[in-house]
Amino acid sequence: MSQSSGATLDFSIVIPAHNEAENLAPYLEELRTVLEGKGEYEVLCVDDGSTDDTLPRLTTEARRFRRLRILRHRRRYGQSAAIATGVVKARAAVIVTLDGDGQNDPADIPRLLELFHGAVHEPAPQLVTGHRRRRRDTWLKRLNSRVANTVRARLLRDRTPDTGCGLKVFHRDAFMALPGFDHMHRFLPALFLRQGGAVLFITAPSIASGSVSWTCSASSGCFGARSTLRSRRSPAVNPETFWLIFGFTGQALFSLRFVIQWLYSERKGRSVIPVAFWYFSVAGGLTLLTYAIYRRDPVFILGQAGGVLIYLRNLHLIIRQRRSGESEG
């Protein structure tokens, strides 16, 4: 494809990729096949500091696929940064994002674009995002995702069923107006709602016959739906800032138990572990466990989960001992 200006492009496809050498060639071929005759577009593949043959494979594909543009990070910055790099360099006003691991079906793109442009519903949404029913992930990753999605959905109230689905359509200018932070791609529905628009979720794969659900902000007025955010003017806490505060709170609770134990021991004149030590251990452990689930760190999750069980067991033994003493008295 010739170096067309952004005005001639209907949409830009942004694909973040890290160590996806084996997936990209067939994925790009499938993309080219299903989008034949579907409009003018470009594909921006962002190599996020890959250490395998991702870049050489992309270079080879670019010779055959003239719509492909390659962008590269010198080191790994994360999926959110890779998406942002692609959006900044995109020449079209409408952006489509896909994951580089091949879990998103390119055949779903025309349907998402149709929904995005308001062919089915009015007003047109600011964001159309997929919801994966079947995933090719390990059971541990699926469990982590389910717990993390549940926690964040209750905190942000954006009713997002699947924050990890990379299949999304949005306006470039709307994305550029969003605050940038690590992991922001998982919070796009909440961020777009914060701007006062509507978000459309649709089941993937088989989007052509998939179920559709809407979430609207108070100011969008679509279908008289109940607002998930109080007002377009209401300030929203940066999600990354919230989780940092949440994590530091858990660490503070965890550290405070040692302060309590030290003060209690000083008062008694000997080393003593008070009951409060275990209560603060449970509170800090549960908070850090939630934070670890959000971060999707299996080592952190396993360590905190095991610790919480031990703290709870100690509390149980203390309570049982007290009850036994009271019954004997």
Tell me the DSSP string of 230-241: S-TTS----HHH
Asked, for residue 279, whether it belongs to a domain, the answer is: yes
Q: What is the pLDDT of residue 239?
A: 66
Rounded to a whole number of angstroms, the distance between the first and last alpha carbons of the chain is: 88
Q: Which residue range forms the structural domain that includes residue 275?
A: 239-321
Helix (H) or strand (E) holding 198: strand 198-204
pLDDT, tens only, 216-228: 443 343 333 322 3
Q: In 3-state terms, what secondary structure has residue 182?
A: coil
Q: What is the pLDDT of residue 72?
A: 95
Percent of the chain with pLDDT over 90: 29
Residue 154 has pLDDT above 80, yes or no: no
Same domain, 207 and 300: no
Domain endpoint, select from 192, 224, 256: 224
Same domain, 194 and 270: no
Mean pLDDT of 158-185: 81
Q: What is the pLDDT of residue 6?
A: 46
Q: In 3-state terms, what secondary structure has residue 109?
A: helix
Domain endpoint, select from 224, 252, 285: 224
Phi then psi for residue 104, to 5 deg, are: -100, 135
Q: What is the pLDDT of residue 228?
A: 31
Residue 136 has pLDDT above 60, yes or no: no
Same domain, 178 and 305: no
Q: What is the pLDDT of residue 13?
A: 96
More confident residue, 149 or 299: 299
pTM beyond 0.85, yes or no: no
Residue 185 has pLDDT above 80, yes or no: yes
Same domain, 248 and 206: no
Mean pLDDT of the chain: 78
Mean pLDDT of 105-109: 89
CA dist 68 and 72 (Å) reads 13
Same domain, 204 and 243: no
- pLDDT band, residue 323 (cuts 50/70/90): confident
Same domain, 151 and 273: no
Same domain, 206 and 256: no
| Cβ contact 86:16 at 8 Å | yes
Q: How far is CA 120 from CA 123, 125, 217, 258, in A?
A: 9, 11, 19, 59
Percent of the chain with pLDDT over 70: 73
Asked, for residue 328, whether it belongs to a domain, the answer is: no
Same domain, 194 and 287: no
Same domain, 251 and 219: no
Split into its structural domains, the chain has a count of 2
Domain endpoint, select from 224, 257, 290: 224
More confident residue, 142 or 115: 115
More confident residue, 32 or 165: 32
Asked, for residue 327, whether it belongs to a domain, the answer is: no
